[in-house]
């Protein structure tokens, strides 16, 4: 299947999820705990619901003759025939927001050739709370609701966003940067943080602790296709990372080269 068809397929999944999610998010049913997912997090009903819709679409796609391997936070590895792309899926990125009702969560889908993140050919993220769509094709640019994105040239960190899986450790790690920023945000969906960083809505995004590839693979391509930068907190490129549900890395991302460097310098001084 051509990458344009994969994009249409991803957008179709996004529309299906978005149509139904508003009746579920924040409801007691959404929070019901189902099991522990392949990535280690607890799966709640709203995760299972999203995964069910995605699986249904993948089975239909496979029945039409397409082969691929699903790699999902919730389900682990699952082959649909032999060969083809790896499809890295986070059914709900921002699960806690979705189950509690905070209107900021997304679905993240990345299509990868081979087993390293540098092989990401297509990334798609949809904000399930408001319908914002972001996508990028390797070598063909990044798009926000259909409009081409270009990295901003901000000089000033008006908004530093971060995610903290372990608040007591991770929030301390951002303290050295705070004298340089006007405001902090902690919004709860890594995939969306990266997309809004690409737009320049967020000037600098940090995960001082750990993020896993299904959270950031699609957002990474979107940011990089708009000439933004993403590394770990040591400044190391992430393209060589394997697709692996257990592997964890810190993240530093910005649409501005100058701000990215300023962040790495401040983190190194600590």
Q: Using CB under 8 A, list all residues that contact its own copies.
A: 26, 96, 100-104, 127, 129-130, 132, 158-160, 164-165, 167-168, 171-172, 174-175, 178-179, 181-188, 196, 199-202
**Nearer residue to its own copies within complex by CB, 43 or 69:** 43
Distances (CA, A) of 170 to 38, 159, 261: 23, 17, 20
Q: How far is the CB of 210 from its own copies (least distance, A)?
A: 14
Q: How far is the CB of 27 from its own copies (least distance, A)?
A: 11
Q: How far is the CB of 100 from its own copies (least distance, A)?
A: 5
**Nearer residue to its own copies within complex by CB, 26 or 119:** 26
Strands (E) across 65-152 are located at 68-72, 76-80, 85-93, 106-112, 120-127, 133-137, 141-144, 147-148
**Nearer residue to its own copies within complex by CB, 158 or 265:** 158
Q: How far is the CB of 193 from its own copies (least distance, A)?
A: 10
Question: What one-character DSSP code corresponds to residue 203?
Answer: S
Residue 226 has phi, psi (to 5 degrees) of: -105, 20
265: Cβ–Cβ under 8 A, 6 or more apart, which residues? Answer: none
Q: How far is the CB of 13 from its own copies (least distance, A)?
A: 21
Distance CA 242, CA 222 (A): 18
Residues 204 and 156 sit within 8 Å (Cβ to Cβ): no
**Nearer residue to its own copies within complex by CB, 17 or 111:** 17
**Nearer residue to its own copies within complex by CB, 22 or 234:** 22
Residues 225 and 137 sit within 8 Å (Cβ to Cβ): yes
């Amino acid at each position: 299947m051509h990458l344009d068809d994969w994009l249409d397929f991803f957008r179709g999944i996004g529309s299906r999820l978005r149509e139904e999610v508003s009746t579920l998010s924040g409801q007691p049913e959404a929070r019901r705990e189902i099991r522990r997912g392949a990535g280690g997090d607890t799966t709640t009903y709203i995760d299972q619901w999203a995964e069910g819709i995605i699986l249904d679409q993948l089975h239909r796609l496979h029945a039409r003759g397409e082969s691929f391997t699903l790699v999902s936070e919730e389900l682990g590895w699952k082959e649909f025939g032999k060969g083809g792309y790896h499809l890295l899926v986070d059914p709900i990125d921002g699960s806690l927001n979705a189950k509690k009702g905070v209107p900021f969560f997304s679905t993240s889908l990345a299509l990868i050739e081979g087993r390293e993140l540098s092989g990401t050919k297509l990334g798609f993220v949809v904000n399930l709370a408001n319908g914002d769509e972001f996508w990028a094709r390797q070598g063909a640019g990044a798009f926000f609701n259909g409009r081409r994105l270009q990295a901003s040239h901000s000089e000033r960190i008006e908004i530093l966003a971060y995610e903290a899986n372990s608040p007591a450790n991770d929030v301390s790690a951002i303290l050295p940067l705070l004298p340089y920023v006007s405001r902090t945000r902690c919004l709860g969906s890594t995939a969306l943080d990266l997309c809004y960083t690409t737009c320049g809505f967020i000037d600098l995004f940090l995960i001082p602790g750990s993020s896993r590839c299904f959270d950031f693979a699609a957002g990474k391509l979107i940011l990089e296709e708009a000439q933004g930068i993403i590394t770990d907190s040591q400044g190391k490129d992430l393209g060589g990372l394997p697709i692996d549900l257990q592997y964890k890395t810190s993240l530093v991302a910005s649409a501005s080269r100058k701000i990215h460097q300023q962040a790495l310098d401040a983190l190194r001084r600590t």
